[in-house]
Amino acid sequence: MDELDILKKDWNSDKSSYREYTDSEIAPMLHKKSSSIVKTLFYISIAELFLWIIISALPYFLSDDMRDRMEKSYENPLFITLTVIGFVVIFAFIYLLFKSYRSISTTDNTKKLMESILKTRKVIKYYVIYNLAMVFVSIPLSLYFEFNENIEFHDQVAAFNPKQMVVMAGIIVVMMVVFFVLLLLFYRLIYGVLLKRLNRNYKELKRLEV
């Protein structure tokens, strides 16, 4: 429970013991809290960037075989394009969050603050949708690269009968669904909680504007 919730709870529970806070006093609290939330989201996005860099680079240092596979993958223009797009999206997300933080921190206008909160929500929403959609792109493409670059895997798949092909397709679908659900839970845990607080601040500001 944040400071604003505590103040409001105390205010409603025993008005005789606590002084009433006017709308003009609550607004700066919401402003400060919103700025703090977006700042936290910005730091989380930077941490996420480093996490994906580590995950992307880790296989390169695990074994010579994995290093060779990665080097072959980076010879493929499509793989390079998707990797570049992925990091461009992350950097753009970080920039937009920083821009939102600066906007919320510097404005003293309630309407502009509400607009900044709405923009922040949209940025995070589109970023999460992009990453979830990439699950259904990256896994099939990874298997495609493996099929073309790994001779042993290629020969095994080529020798499959129809029943085995159906089983393999089922396993791939299950993998994508599991990874999708895990990623969704990750973003709900990391960004969802903070977004709910930001949304609550937005609703409170909207109430004050009425």
The SS3 of residue 116 is helix
Task: For residue 22, report the phi and psi dihedrals to the nearest 5 degrees.
Answer: -80, 165
pLDDT at 12 > cutoff 50: yes
pLDDT at 15 > cutoff 50: no
d(CA 71, CA 48): 24
Per-residue pLDDT at 10: 53
Per-residue pLDDT at 23: 56
- Supply the DSSP symbol for 200: H
Query: Which residue do the tokens 């609703």 mark?
Result: 203
Q: Are 86 and 27 in contact (CB under 8 A)?
A: no
Question: Which stretch of 64-68, 90-94, 166-170, 173-177 has the lowest confidence by average pLDDT?
Answer: 64-68
Q: pLDDT tens for residues 122-149?
A: 999 899 899 888 888 888 887 888 777 7
Question: Which stretch of 4-8, 94-98, 164-168, 200-204 has the lowest confidence by average pLDDT?
Answer: 4-8
Angle at 26 between CA 22 and CA 31, to 5 degrees: 155
Better pLDDT: 75 or 94:
94
Sequence-distant (≥ 6) Cβ neighbours of residue 124 within 8 angstroms = 41, 97, 191, 195
d(CA 141, CA 79): 8
What is the pTM assigned to this prediction? 0.75
pLDDT at 189 > cutoff 60: yes
Question: Which stretch of 16-30, 96-110, 157-171 has the lowest confidence by average pLDDT?
Answer: 16-30
Q: pLDDT tens for residues 173-184?
A: 998 899 899 988
